[in-house]
Structure 1
Amino acid sequence: MEHSGTTGSVVAERPDALALHVDGREVASYVWRSHLPASTAPRPYLHPVRTLAGTVVTDARPHSHTHQLGISIAAPDIGGRNFWGGRTFVAGHGPAWLDDHGAQQHRRWLRHTESELAHTLNWVDRDGAELLYERREIACHPLSPGAWTLSVRTRLLNATDNPLQIRSPAALGRVGAGYGGFFWRGPSRSERVRVLSSAGDGERAVNGTTAEWVAVSGAGQGGWTVVFAPADAITAADRWFVRSRDYLGVGSSLTWDRPLVLEPGGAIARHILAVVADGTLDSDAAGALAASARSAP
């Protein structure tokens, strides 16, 4: 059973969640078991994520995209299975509803404290067959009086006896739709937002490019900014997926217009930092926060 939240989002009941804190303030909730419909590609996610002043900077299950879940790790096509949720992009046809959705299942906790957690997960198809084994680590750290850093690490291992292709819709002909991997669904707001980056400003300047950092800034509730930055050289080579018109979303893409092939027993690892800040920041301030986050111990 589902109900509508006060922000117009569809919210799942009975989530199993852990609160994460920075300096005694709750800044995020990690829903590690969500009880969602199969069509959402059920998976763990962070929501709500808040600034230190309490402004919510994520959305989960908005009516326009009910499969978008706060901050999560998702992929539209792994070995022909949809781990993104919603419709599947079919080459030569377009988006279509298929019975091909997978799910991410919590396996066991490795660590969880007030500000850090680590666990293992299985990525399974609709019949329960395991495709990927994942180790995920999430940590929250203070950065400045008005900002904190969210660290998300993932390591994905091919758990099958065959090569696995990881593909985005861009690899199937949907221009600009190279999404898949770390993804942030921003809040549904009426105020104007700005997309900033080290490579230029605006969605068109950033989507499909690599950049040292990407930021989204909004003016509501006193202002807020989220800055995204790769934490290592491998992640820095991935392109950014950015949307700011029909909805707010930023992703660090595992692959863009060519399939990424993961051999049996092969693994890939990625590490993203997200700085959550109060205030409507400009490019200089956003870049400074990204640099501080990368250099922090």
Structure 2
Amino acid sequence: MEHSGTARALDAGQPVRLQVEGRDVADYVWRSDLPASTAPRPFLHPVRTLAGTTVTDARPHSHTHQLGISIAAPDIGGRNFWGGRTFVAGHGPAWLDDHGAQRHRRWLRHTESELAHTLHWVDGQGAALLSERRAIACGPLSSEAWTLSVQTRLTNATDRPLPIRSPASLGRVGAGYGGFFWRGPAVNGQVRVQSPAGTGVRAVHGTTAPWLSVSGTSSGAMWTMLFVPADPTTAQDRWFVRARDYLGVGSSLTWDRPLVLEPGQQIERHILAVVADGNLTEDAAAALADAARPPA
């Protein structure tokens, strides 16, 4: 059943508030007036724990193009759908007039805990490079944690092969970002990064692992974000992790080699983000990852 508050927000073009068992946990900004340099796109912010602690940041001073939880890519067919500067091989990051945008097309479903819609990823002239079906769902997991499901199906909307590249594929070592991305909040003190691949950013960045957790403290409240690939294809993607200068985690569509979509070809990805109060131990994070993951 459609939630009346959600329907009113959609009619007015306002962010849609998502709930878990009656508690507000996330706002989905599906339409905005962001500048072209941000590669405008829908995003989730603020995302909150069940106790109300915000675990995302959007448009921070250091990286104004980073937007909560979103799906973005730095180079699709030569267009920047990430925002900010574009990495140019042999030169480095540069400001170019090459930014694309993601445009909402049609709602497929919207309730107090679920959304689904179609989008076009368009270049500066409005031509569609990708068509997308995106589904977002929130659900309870424990008394102190809930699960955010983000699914995307991307289809090459052009009549030619469409390469998807990361800066790493152009020579920037380790910069394999592009795809699902979480920008974390400002933290007090250190953050703890854990996964079965190891502990700490160096041990986890660029690896594949069945889950990855980041724990920190913001405004005096402890929290943990736990990221889980929800299907075998997504589980093959490498993790991008950064805790220096800013806090961010991504599940990378492609790392150091281009991913080329033929005309009409589709790819699908599904990430689960567990949002928890408290700093979880490795054992507790592993248990929640198992609880969140769909049955095989």
Partner of 1:247: 246
Could you tell me which runs of 5 or more consecutive residues in structure 2 were left unpaired when the two chains were aligned.
1-11
Partner of 2:121: 123
The normalised TM-score by structure 2 is: 0.94
1:274 aligns with 2:273: yes
- Indicate the RMSD between aligned Cα atoms, in angstroms: 1.2
Task: Provide the rounded CA distance (Å) in 2 between the counterparts of 1:59 and 1:16.
Answer: 19
Partner of 1:45: 43
1:260 aligns with 2:259: yes
**3-state secondary structure, aligned to 1:223:** strand
Runs of 4 or more, structure 1, over 6 Å off, are none
Partner of 2:221: 222
Partner of 1:3: none
**3-state secondary structure, aligned to 2:286:** helix
Task: Provide the rounded CA distance (Å) in 1 between the counterparts of 2:221 and 2:67.
Answer: 24
Describe the superposition over 1:149-197 as per-residue Cα deviations: whole angstroms up to 9, x where unpaired. 0000000000000000000000000000000000000001232211111
Q: Amino acid of the residue matched to residue 252 of structure 1?
A: S
1:287 is displaced (CA, Å) by 1.0
1:222 is displaced (CA, Å) by 3.1
Task: Provide the rounded CA distance (Å) in 2 between the counterparts of 1:105 and 1:191.
Answer: 38
Query: How has the CA–CA distance of structure 1 residues 199 and 15 changed in structure 2, closer, same or farther, with 3 Å as cutoff?
Result: farther
Task: Provide the rounded CA distance (Å) in 2 between the counterparts of 1:115 and 1:44.
Answer: 17
Partner of 1:54: 52
Describe the superposition over 1:240-295 as per-residue Cα deviations: whole angstroms up to 9, x where unpaired. 00001111000000000000000000000000000000001111111111110004
Task: Provide the rounded CA distance (Å) in 2 between the counterparts of 1:150 and 1:92.
Answer: 39
**3-state secondary structure, aligned to 1:205:** helix
Describe the superposition over 1:106-146 as per-residue Cα deviations: whole angstroms up to 9, x where unpaired. 00100000000000000000010110000000000000000
Task: Provide the rounded CA distance (Å) in 2 between the counterparts of 1:176 and 1:233.
Answer: 23
Task: Provide the rounded CA distance (Å) in 1 between the counterparts of 2:48 and 2:198.
Answer: 26
**3-state secondary structure, aligned to 2:19:** strand
Say which of 68, 71, 79 aligns to 1:70.
68
The answer to whether the 8 Å contact 2:187/2:217 transfers is no
Query: How has the CA–CA distance of structure 1 residues 15 and 199 changed in structure 2, closer, same or farther, with 3 Å as cutoff?
Result: farther
Say which of 71, 78, 96 aligns to 1:80.
78
1:84 is displaced (CA, Å) by 0.1
The answer to whether the 8 Å contact 1:15/1:35 transfers is no
Could you tell me which runs of 5 or more consecutive residues in structure 1 were left unpaired when the two chains were aligned.
1-13
The answer to whether the 8 Å contact 1:76/1:180 transfers is yes
1:232 aligns with 2:244: no
Q: Amino acid of the residue matched to residue 39 of structure 2?
A: A
Task: Provide the rounded CA distance (Å) in 2 between the counterparts of 1:71 and 1:42.
Answer: 13
Partner of 2:6: none
